[in-house]
Amino acid sequence: MENNNMLLQDEFGRKHDYLRISITEHCNLRCTYCMPEDGISLTPKSHLMNADEIVSIAQTFVNLGVTKIRLTGGEPLVRKDAKDVILRLGKLGVNLTITTNGILVANFIETFKEAGIKTVNISIDSLVKDKFNKITRREYFDIVQKNIDLLLEEKFNVKLNVVLIKSFNNNEIIDFILLTKSKNIQVRFIEFMPFSGNQWDKSKLVSYAEIIETVQSEYKLSQIERLQDSPNDTAKNFKINSHLGSFAIISSVTNPFCSTCNRIRLTADGKLKNCLFSNSETSLLEVLRAGESILPLIEQNLLSKKAVRAGMDDDLKFQNPELFSQNRTMIAIGG
């Protein structure tokens, strides 16, 4: 512990400089793959991080070498003091980003700008209104569409997160790619991942290989450009060469990218998760509230990080409901 710069390094030499903070478990949508049908039992407010605690923990991580922070949730923008949290984190001098369902974005344009947010990820799983409403179990399609255009007008980099589910939206892959023809957006196709209560099964998975096959059935090989991925990118990046925007595939299920993982996660109740798929968590909030240093806990947590997907290093383990149902629901992790 003498050298704090090493605290965010794990046993495998991976340096963790990207912190994802969930700032709420609440959400104004009920996406079927994220939120169990009967909801989740929400953590009492007193057990959740307040704005000062979020900023304090984030500052500790920045001091240790974190250079990028992503806000997520639940839906981060439903948090009552979201503007305050965003503005305060914007002062930490990191690359601040956000993943949102887009519904409340119009109220936050100035806040994003003031906080230095340049890129906004919006989750949208269908370009067909009825299907969007069905998967989100709410009716906000038009608002989300409008807000995507608003972000583009306001010159934000816009990334669209699309979770692909077989027989639901895999027939929209090309429609999403067509969006990139005249709009400078990045569409990110995400393999459907197993979490507690999300009715995952392998037959619903649209794999990296299937996505590529679909793209190649529409475009000639010479039209599909493989872009350079950045060093810790979870996405494999592509572009149709005549299009303005690009697309990417995030294949945590069929092609995990654990060897270059630089991410750590802080849940809304102040627990550190060293892997999206890990059910072992370390409560930083309790120790912070007791007035003690959180550094030893951060170090222990990072040192216990497994090489691959929280130890589920083969498909059998990863797809075993007895194992993945021990993890939180996605809405309580934050993606």
Binding stretches for ligand SF4 (CB under 6 A): 27, 29-31, 34-35, 73-75, 101, 123, 331
61 binds, among ligand SAM, ligand SF4, none (CB under 5 to 8 A by kind): none
The one-letter amino acid at 42: L
> Cβ closer to ligand SF4: 29 or 206?
29
142 burial class (0-12, 13-18, 19+ CB within 10 angstroms)?
Answer: exposed
Closest approach, Cβ 1 to ligand SF4, in A, equals: 36
> Cβ closer to ligand SF4: 91 or 129?
129
Q: In what order do the strands lie in the sheet containing 185-191? A: 224-226, 235-240, 246-250, 185-191, 157-164, 119-123, 95-100, 68-72, 18-22, 263-266, 271-273, 282-283
198 binds, among ligand SF4, ligand SAM, none (CB under 5 to 8 A by kind): ligand SAM
> Cβ closer to ligand SAM: 11 or 201?
201
195 binds, among ligand SAM, ligand SF4, none (CB under 5 to 8 A by kind): ligand SAM
Return the residue matching tokens 């109740």. 269
Closest approach, Cβ 27 to ligand SF4, in A, equals: 3
The one-letter amino acid at 314: D
30 binds, among ligand SF4, ligand SAM, none (CB under 5 to 8 A by kind): ligand SF4
Are 148 and 160 contacting, i.e. CB atoms less than 8 angstroms apart?
Answer: yes
> Cβ closer to ligand SF4: 48 or 92?
48
> Cβ closer to ligand SF4: 190 or 284?
190
Q: Which residue is nearest to ligand SAM (CB)?
A: 335
> Cβ closer to ligand SF4: 60 or 123?
123
Closest approach, Cβ 214 to ligand SAM, in A, equals: 18
193 binds, among ligand SAM, ligand SF4, none (CB under 5 to 8 A by kind): ligand SAM
| Residues near ligand SAM (CB under 6 A) | 27, 33-34, 72-73, 75, 99-101, 123, 161, 163, 190, 192-193, 195, 198, 330-331, 334-335
Helix (H) or strand (E) holding 23: none
Closest CA to 334 of 161, 186, 93: 161
78 binds, among ligand SAM, ligand SF4, none (CB under 5 to 8 A by kind): none
Give the whole-angstrom CA distance, residue 86 versus residue 201: 36
> Cβ closer to ligand SF4: 35 or 206?
35
Closest approach, Cβ 290 to ligand SAM, in A, equals: 30
Closest approach, Cβ 111 to ligand SAM, in A, equals: 16
Helix (H) or strand (E) holding 159: strand 157-164
First to last CA, the chain: 30
> Cβ closer to ligand SAM: 7 or 268?
268
Give the whole-angstrom CA distance, residue 208 versus residue 185: 20
Residues 184, 188, 189, 195, CA torsion sign: negative
* Helix runs in the chain, H state only: 51-64, 82-90, 109-115, 129-136, 141-153, 173-182, 208-218, 284-289, 295-303, 315-318, 321-324
Closest approach, Cβ 206 to ligand SF4, in A, equals: 17
